[in-house]
Chains A and B, each alone.
Chain A
Amino acid sequence: MLVTGVARQLGGRFVRRIQRDPEVDRVVAVDAVPPEHHLGGADFVQADIRQPTIARVLAESGADTVVHLDVTGTPLGSGSRAALKETNVIGTMQLLGACQKSPNIRRLVVKSSTNVYGSAPRDPAVFTETTPPKSLPSGGFAKDTVEVEGYVRGFARRRPDVAVCVLRFANILGPAADSPLASYFALPVLPTVFGYDPRLQFVHEDDVVEVLRIGSHEPRRGTLNSGTFNIAGDGVLLLSQCSRRLGRPTVPLLLPAVTWAGSVVRTLGMTDFSPEQIRLLTHGRVVATDQMRETLGFTPKYTTAETFAEFVRSRGPGLLPPETLERAVDRLAALPLPGSGHPTHSAN
């Protein structure tokens, strides 16, 4: 088995987990930079997937399964957006080219994102795997994923003997998640778009690792693990709920101001607050996970709300922790009510 993008936390966790499975003899872990975490007993090969050397690595490893996790929205360390885009798109092309030449390969798993659906007011409230996006993402990570999926579809046509599994993950959160949304939630005060309360869906890192495992093994009886699947936790959280549960106050800004501020922040290089990120935080996005349950046979352990609760626990309290607010309400309850002589807490 060959896994790309292992220098990231998620890749590292997946590599460590997959080696415990009896079906896996050997794991070759590939990334352009050596990972800071250990990879269990996996063989690390330092190779840039943007270079044709990846074909040699794949041929030498003799892998029958390729798990492509190097499709990400945030640069590792001090990488630039351009380098990231190159890794996402050119890297995928090189890797798929290498796969096409490899006679051994039986199975390809690609990490994608629900970003491919875009986010527009004219979209249906819930996306299924077959919903065409109303407005294609114009740039950034979302466009990368659309292009990556396009190449993967092309590969699946040319190599029908390879089982291809594209997993469209909702926003991945967890103690170690390094997604743009996680860095957004780390801001002390959350800028929001005035007059919009987007619906968000999260998926926990543990579930991500688990579903990648399902995708990279033989399908279990009665299930099918080739195709495209939305992966998300049950339920929906509104951004306002997130901010209150996180205990971080929000600053509603008018949409033009947000777009402008986003471009300033991007120019300064502070965070990758891309236009598609702003669109997500304006209109929100919810995907249907019926295929994940029925066809892939996977049920996430964490719901959206539980994933977020885990994330909140790992981040520590914000400026306005919910507990403080609760106490404030209780104090309000303890105040004597004008008109009635009784203190109201007796009613609680």
Chain B
Amino acid sequence: MADAKVIPFDDDHRSRGGAAQRPARRRGAGGRRQGGAQPAAVGDVQPLPGVASAREDEPVTAAAEQPRERAGDGPGEGSGGGAGSGDGTLERRVASGLAFLRRRLTGDYEVDDFGYDEELTDQVLMSLLRPVYEKYFRVEVKGMENIPSEGGALIVANHSGTVPVDGLMMQVAVHDHHPAGRHLRLLAADLVFMLPVVNELARKLGHTLACAEDAERLLGQGELVGVMPEGFKGIGKPFGERYKLQRFGRGGFVSTALRQRAPIIPCSIVGAEEIYPMIGNAKTLARLLGFPYFPLTPTFPWLGPLGAVPLPTKWTIQFGEPIPTDGYPPEAAEDPMLMFNLTDQVREQIQHTLYKLLVQRRSVFF
């Protein structure tokens, strides 16, 4: 019964049949690859708290980041340093890296009211996440044109994967692929802001607490806000229920969008469900640690830290058609029936797109 809805994808079914050997085999291959990706994942926790340690690698990562931007800037920038070729760009990179280092060391940078550190996000944190996004999960993005280039909008996505990597990948997707270079401001669970280090990084990445006040303030400022209304129910669901959307909270996101007259953009993420197949939940341990669940996967915690390496699945992120909310009267935000209807509409649209993407998917890993 549980499989009834997922069954149509023969391919997926087969891959699950082979899951016992397949991930094991892939693990060996992936393990070496993770040699490259894993330091980045660990590294993105390190740079901030220890000021000194961060300083060591920041100029390097910042410098590494530069060519990417330069390349994006196109020929205009390139022709400027064209004569100097190799040396010139290297020197410029070092110089901008040092300028960055100087600003960071003297505290001469800006953060917004939510603690979003745009410079740090662009120069350091995004370039740490990018290898994971491009090389590890090989994310394919569709429907970027559905995100408006200005004004507030609420992106509503499904949530999965035991560890909320999907939100981060969605942020990289918008950051790297949106033509207007918009920044996605994610709404995160309160647990994120209770954990040391995590809360600091989350704030600097521009995330904030998932509450109506913060969401409305961000939308009111014309920001692009990302929310995953399933919350822990979605991310901590067992593997057998993958790609089945859970209840969308109380639909608070709809009334927030209605109040700010921001369009709702449904977003479906495929691939995140399989990174940590959760086959069990150590409830007692979770309660002890104060977490909503404690995942048991085929590898975690049996293989220790190695078991915490996600499976290298192939991801697809599809942004759907925006659902406008400006046609409703102001008092619509108080109408529970309308709210339920809109919530269902968003949920259905995400679920349908998920099924469509699953049918198109050739395999979990390619």
Interface residues of A, Cβ cutoff 8 Å to B: 121-126, 128, 131, 193-197, 199, 235-238, 240-245, 250, 252, 255, 283-284, 286, 288, 322, 325-326, 329, 332-333, 337, 340, 342, 344, 346-348
B196 touches A122 (CB 8 A): no
Name the interface residues of B179-200: CB closer than 8 Å to any CB of A.
190, 193-200
Are B111 and A199 closer than 8 Å at their CB atoms? yes
Q: Are B92 and A347 in contact (CB under 8 A)?
A: yes
What residue of chain A has the Cβ atom nearest to residue B92's Cβ? Answer: A347
Q: Report the 5 A-B pairs with minimum CB-CB distance, sorted nearest first.
A: A195-B196, A244-B107, A347-B91, A322-B106, A241-B107
Q: How far is the CB of A340 from chain B (nearest CB, A)?
A: 6
CB distance from A107 to the nearest CB of B (A): 32
Segment with Cβ contacts to A, from B17-25, B36-44, B112-120 = B112-120
Contacts of B108 in A (CB 8 A): 245, 322
Q: A342-B87, A344-B95, A347-B91 are in contact. Are A195 and B49 (CB under 8 A)?
A: yes
- B105: which of A122, A288, A325, A344 is its contact (CB, 8 Å)? A325
| Bound complex: CA A283 to CA B199 (Å) | 9
* A193-B196, A255-B196, A347-B92 known; A126-B107 Cβ under 8 A: no
Q: How far is the CA of A122 from the CA of B213 in the complex (A)?
A: 12
Binds A, one of B3-11, B204-212, B267-275, B308-316: B204-212
Q: Which chain A residue lies CB-closest to B109?
A: A241
Interface size of B as a range: 35 or more
Apart from A121-B209, A195-B199, A322-B108: 18 A-B pairs, beta carbons within 8 A: A124-B209, A125-B208, A125-B213, A194-B196, A196-B196, A196-B199, A197-B48, A197-B115, A238-B115, A238-B117, A252-B49, A252-B50, A284-B115, A286-B113, A286-B114, A326-B102, A326-B106, A329-B101
Q: Is the CB of A122 within 8 A of B48?
A: no
Checking A121, A128, A241, A347 against B213 with a beta-carbon cut-off of 8 angstroms, the contacting residue is A128
Is B197 in contact with A195, judged by CB distance below 8 angstroms?
A: yes
B204 near A125 with CB under 8 A, answer: no
- Cα–Cα, bound, A136→B114 (Å): 22
A340 touches B87 (CB 8 A): yes
Q: Which residues of B contact A128 (CB under 8 A)?
A: 213
Query: Which A residues touch B195, using CB under 8 A?
Result: 195
Distance (whole angstroms) from the CB of A144 to the closest CB of chain B: 26
List residues of B whose CB falls within 8 A of some A CB. 48-51, 87, 90-92, 94-95, 98, 101-102, 105-115, 117, 190, 193-200, 203-204, 208-209, 211, 213-214, 217
A240 touches B107 (CB 8 A): yes
Distance between B80 CB and nearest chain A CB, rounded to angstroms: 13
Q: Which residue of B lies closest to A341 (CB)?
A: B87
Chain B residues near A125: list those with CB within 8 A. 113-115, 208-209, 213-214, 217
Partner of A244, one of B101, B105, B196, B213: B105
If A125-B115, A326-B102 touch, whether A344 touches B94 (CB-CB below 8 Å) is yes
A126-B113, A195-B196 known; A240 vs B51 contact (CB < 8 Å):
yes
